[in-house]
Chains A and B, each alone.
Chain A
Amino acid sequence: MKLNERSLAFYATCDSPADNAGFLYKRGERHTAYHRRWFVLKGNMLFYFEDRDSREPVGVIVLEGCNVELCDAAENYAFAIRFGGTKSRTYVLAAENQAAMESWVKSLSRASFDYMRLVVRELEKQLQEMTQGLAGGCAGSREPPGLWKPKPSGLEESREQLPALPAILPKENGCAVWNNVLGADRLPDTSGCAGHDEEGNPRPPPLPPRRGVSNGEAAAVAQSPSTFCRLHEQYSREVAQLRQDWQQRQRGPRP
């Protein structure tokens, strides 16, 4: 299958802000040796370069439909990108420290287009409800039907007003990096739904739904009438469990 590789390479190396960037060790496909590569995450595409100043990526991992998991590899701070298919390859990566690992797991978990679309739809719904003078943003009792349809009506007229991308972004390691939490423009605390963590920052969006590679499953998730709050609760429980498991493994005897 042909891919617009030239454009892809350009997209990878151009000035557009990256969601994350840094060195990671990548385990080879057949051999267990790890190679240090410079990784750049843009949207749902994870590019990797031989070096930070390489002009073209060695490769790219399309992240749509993946699961990101912590893993028990011999290497410290390892995590895996897994796909649902039977013959799918699992990408094992390792960070250089705890903080980097957590940062990557977080940003990769939220990297899918599907997930981003979910978040945007939810905000669109909130804004619609506010404009119509309805109560609250996350009233769980009401379930407005059909709001998950890909209807662009709200966006149509206002597309001209969409602001340009911020001109100045915080730079890190030579690549402009998006502040995922967007601490500058916080969401209001609406009835305990859009919570804040201990530091008073907006709670980060929940991990995306597990998405199977087979047909239909993805569509079912996207079209579900569940509210954002419900999903948030569900996935925060999953995250808490994952975290607990991982912490237990860390405290337990080393294999």
Chain B
Amino acid sequence: MRYNERELLSLARQPAEKAAEIRMSVPKKGSVLKKRLVKLVVNFLFYFRTDEAEPIGALLLEHCKITKEEENVFSISFIEEPERKYCFECATEEQCQEWVEALKRASYEFLRRSLIFYRNEIQKMTGK
């Protein structure tokens, strides 16, 4: 699938909502946890080798499931392939919870639902 890589790379350089060095593994056979710089920008999660300027990859965070796994660990999987998990091992449980919360709110679909929710609430309050 073609995509505008230049703009996506530029997005990866934008100030992040959240960024940290986290050990991460991809859903590939024999994949092990490796230390990565993980960066959340809008609804994309970029991951870099810690000393590189260009990301190894990007995950569009739509139609995905964020799951709290064992201690310090959470995973991201996509609805159509729930077994293929991107795993993240944080330094602390607190950091793990923060990331889970942030990632759950990081989708456009979530914003859409919020929009509807707030509009409904405002409407209820004004009685119109």
Residues of A within 8 A of B (CB): 1-11, 14, 16, 42-45, 56-62, 64-66, 83, 85, 87-89, 112-114, 116-117, 119-120, 123-124, 126-127, 130-131, 137, 150, 152, 155, 158, 161-163, 165, 178, 182, 185-188, 213, 215-216, 218-219
Q: Is the CB of A216 within 8 A of B113?
A: no
Q: Compute how far the CA of A51 lies from the CA of B8 in the bound complex, rounded to whole angstroms.
A: 25
Task: Give chain A residues whose Cβ lies under 8 Å from the Cβ of B116.
Answer: 163, 182, 185
Q: Is the CB of B5 within 8 A of A1?
A: yes
Interface string of B44-63 (1 = CB under 8 A from A): 00000000001111111011
Residues of B within 8 A of A (CB): 1-15, 17, 42-43, 54-60, 62-64, 78-81, 101, 105, 108-109, 111-123, 125-126, 128
Q: Compute how far the CA of A205 lies from the CA of B126 in the bound complex, rounded to whole angstroms.
A: 20
Q: Which of A4, A8, A59, A88 contacts B6 (CB 8 A)?
A: A88
Q: Is the CB of A155 within 8 A of B105?
A: yes
Question: Contacts A44-B43, A62-B4, A127-B118; is A152 near B105 (CB within 8 Å)?
Answer: yes
Task: Give chain B residues whose Cβ lies under 8 Å from the Cβ of A5.
Answer: 1
Interface CB pairs A-B, < 8 A, 13: A10-B78, A14-B63, A42-B62, A44-B42, A64-B11, A64-B42, A65-B11, A83-B6, A130-B125, A162-B114, A182-B116, A182-B119, A188-B122
Residue of A nearest to B54 (CB): A1
Among B1, B59, B115: residue with most chain A CB under 10 A: B1
Task: Give chain B residues whose Cβ lies under 8 Å from the Cβ of A45.
Answer: 60, 62
Q: Is the CB of B60 within 8 A of A7?
A: yes
Q: Is the CB of B56 within 8 A of A11?
A: no
Q: Is the CB of B80 within 8 A of A7?
A: yes
Q: Which of A113, A114, A188, A213 contacts B123 (CB 8 A)?
A: A188
Q: Is the CB of A3 within 8 A of B3?
A: yes
Please give the distance in Å from A244's CB to the nearest CB on chain B.
Answer: 30
Q: Is the CB of A1 within 8 A of B10?
A: no
Q: Compute how far the CA of A158 lies from the CA of B105 in the bound complex, rounded to whole angstroms.
A: 13
Q: Compute how far the CA of A238 lies from the CA of B7 in the bound complex, rounded to whole angstroms.
A: 25
Residue of B nearest to A123 (CB): B118
Q: Which of A62, A66, A127 contacts B122 (CB 8 A)?
A: A127
Please give the distance in Å from B59's CB to the nearest CB on chain A.
Answer: 5
Q: Compute how far the CA of A213 lies from the CA of B10 in the bound complex, rounded to whole angstroms.
A: 7
Q: Compute how far the CA of A142 lies from the CA of B63 in the bound complex, rounded to whole angstroms.
A: 39
Q: Is the CB of A3 within 8 A of B60?
A: yes
Q: Is the CB of B1 within 8 A of A8?
A: yes
Q: Which of B64, B81, B109, B123 contacts A186 (CB 8 A)?
A: B123
Task: Give chain B residues whose Cβ lies under 8 Å from the Cβ of A163.
Answer: 113, 116-117, 120
Q: Is the CB of B4 within 8 A of A89?
A: yes
Among A7, A59, A187, A219: residue with most chain B CB under 10 A: A7
Q: Is the CB of B112 within 8 A of A218?
A: no
Q: Is the CB of A88 within 8 A of B64?
A: no
Q: Compute how far the CA of A123 lies from the CA of B4 in the bound complex, rounded to whole angstroms.
A: 32
Task: Give chain A residues whose Cβ lies under 8 Å from the Cβ of B118.
Answer: 120, 123-124, 126-127
Q: Compute how far the CA of A237 lies from the CA of B123 in the bound complex, rounded to whole angstroms.
A: 28
Task: Give chain A residues whose Cβ lies under 8 Å from the Cβ of B80.
Answer: 6-7, 10, 14
